[in-house]
Amino acid sequence: HGTSTINQLGHLEIGGVDTVDIAGRFGTPVYVYDVALIRERARGFQRAFEQADVKYQVAYASKAFSCIAMVQLADEMGMSLDIVSSGELMTAKKAGFPMERVHFHGNNKSPEEIDLALDFGVGCFVLDNFYEVSLLQEKTLSKNQKVDALIRTTPGVEAHTHEYISTGQEDSKFGFDLASGQADKVIKMLKDDAYIQLRGVHSHIGSQIFDTNGFVLTVEKLFSQFTRWKEEYDFVPEILNAGGGFGIRYVEGDEPLPPEHYVADLVKAVKKEAAKADMAVPEIWIEPGRSITGDAGTTLYTVGSTKDIPGVRRYLSVDGGMTDNIRPALYQAEYEGVLANRANETAADTFAVAGKCCESGDMLMWKLPLPEVEHRDILAVFCTGAYGYSMANNYNRITRPPVVFVEDSQADLVVKGESLEDITKNDLPFRSKERV
Ligand code: LLP
């Protein structure tokens, strides 16, 4: 997929760059991103909105993968940016991302984070809870600063996906409940607020979703409130943000819709409900993360030790694992991969691919068909571009890998790998006088 091919040497090539060379040059593990594919995914969503002739924003959910280069690419592609913390905000700031196109999410924005966002001039707060509304009221008043806001709602729609990444149901830590009138209360609180301008509503029902039923149902549920809100509070949302969650293909059997299809069904539902309610079609925003960067990312590892348990399983261990990709351990997520240095060879057996952490659950794949594996082979694992690097960690004090962007036969290092020095750089000696 994307620009991936097998070159004359039988090596996996991405963006016109031989991945075996990337492994040699930058070491392994390393995350490799196919920039052309990221562009194509972004354009897919944007094109669909343009064809549907509605006002829109495609906000890249930077939690999926954030670094300065990625945020700059999102900007170049004309996307907006969803951030959820001061760290993601600072990344956007350092990337020079236009702050008016930044949307600030999160169920527990701290007073310091709210200050920073206001000082940077963040364009839109996605309000999540009453504490945040009061904090933002206080701060905008004291700074004499105006800001746009959306109400994050839980529409009571169950997305059929893993429980940990499902967020639309009423029993969720996120957002205001629609059914019990929590959202109404926010509308009342902000009705006469001179600083916070409530411009619309938001909902995000979950992640890795393969059909559009949940989105359509959400739109219907929202509009049933809109009609009432118009009558009771004279509040007509100008923006409907449907969140992210558009699925991608990790393994055979995953059958996501093309980006265009999600957008087309969403827009159709919004137009239909708006007509029924006799309201203007609101601006439609979405927040794709995974579907922008997920399949553009490939992780390269070096094969190290192997272990055969005759008749049971053949293990091979790679030089990374749950520290660079925690998704298999956390969600039983599945992946596919190939030997990057022998990508044209046929499989001889299936292998269980283990990471190097001291933890039995540190497995990347349980049944990967591969040729007879040799030590020092390069293993490429596909579709690691979302929630791989962004959820990377230093368990076992393992360093986080570098990130390389490839496009037009050129490889650019965009995040340096951590060094052993980095591992201890914030440590202080026992009974240190520096300790506070
Ligand atoms: N908008 C909101 C408000 C979200 O909470 C999320 C994801 C997104 C957009 C982007 O969703 P996406 O298009 O990427 O599915 N760590 C998990 C995924 C957690 C998603 C959290 N919120 C994973 O690795 O699958």
Report the CATH number at residue 158.
3.20.20.10
Atom of ligand 1 nearest to the CA of 391: 16
Same structural domain for residues 349 and 362?
yes
The reply to whether 278 falls in a domain is: yes
Domain boundary among 251, 268, 293: 293
CA–centroid distance, residue 207 to ligand 1 (Å)? 5
The verdict on 399 and 382 lying in the same domain is yes
What pLDDT is attached to residue 18?
98
> Cα-flanking dihedrals φ and ψ of residue 18, to 5°?
-70, 120
Domain that holds residue 313: 5-33+296-424
Same domain, 402 and 369: yes
Active site residues: 358
Q: What CATH number corresponds to the domain at position 21?
A: 2.40.37.10
Q: Is residue 233 part of a domain?
A: yes
Summarize pLDDT for 330-382 with one digit per residue, the tens: 999 999 999 999 999 999 999 999 999 999 999 999 999 999 999 999 999 99
How close are the terminal C-alpha atoms of the chain, in Å? 52
Same domain, 283 and 336: no
Looking at the fold, whether 332 and 223 belong to one and the same domain comes out as no
Q: Which among 63, 151, 212 is the best mutation to test ligand 1's pocket, defined by most ligand atoms within 8 Å of the CB?
A: 63
Tokens found for residue 228:
């009432």
Report how far residue 150's alpha carbon sits from residue 123's, in angstroms, rounded to the nearest whole number.
Answer: 11
pLDDT of residue 157: 84
E strand intervals along 176-282: 176-177, 196-202, 239-241
**What is the residue whose two structure tokens read 């005759």?**
310
Tell me the per-residue pLDDT of 418-428, one tens digit each, with 9 for 90 and over: 999 999 999 99
The residue assigned the tokens 């954030």 is 66
Q: How far is the C-alpha of 271 from the C-alpha of 390, rounded, in Å?
A: 36
For residues 266 and 134, membership in a common domain is answered with yes
Asked whether residue 389 is assigned to any structural domain, the reply reads yes
Residue 316 lies in a domain: yes
Ligand 1 nearest atom to the CA of residue 105, by list position: 3
Name the token pair of 13: 């090539």
SS3 call for 239: strand
Number of domains in the chain: 2
The kind and range of the H/E element at 26 are helix 19-26
From the CB of residue 261, how many other CB atoms can be counted at a distance below 10 Å?
15
pLDDT in tens, 245-300: 999 999 999 999 999 999 999 999 999 999 999 999 999 999 999 999 999 999 99
* Distance from Cα 298 to the centre of ligand 1, integer Å: 19
Q: Across all residues in the chain, what is the average pLDDT?
A: 95
Provide ipTM, 2 decimals. Answer: 0.99
User: HSE-up of 23 (CA within 13 Å, CB side)?
Assistant: 24
Name, in order, each residue with C-beta under 8 angstroms of 338's C-beta and a sequence gap of 6 or more. 12, 370, 379, 380, 382
Could you give the percent of the chain with pLDDT greater than 90? 93
> How would DSSP label each residue in 290-304?
HHHHTTTEEEEEEEE
Residue 433 domain flag? no
Would strands 378-382 and 297-309 be described as parallel, antiparallel, or unpaired?
A: antiparallel
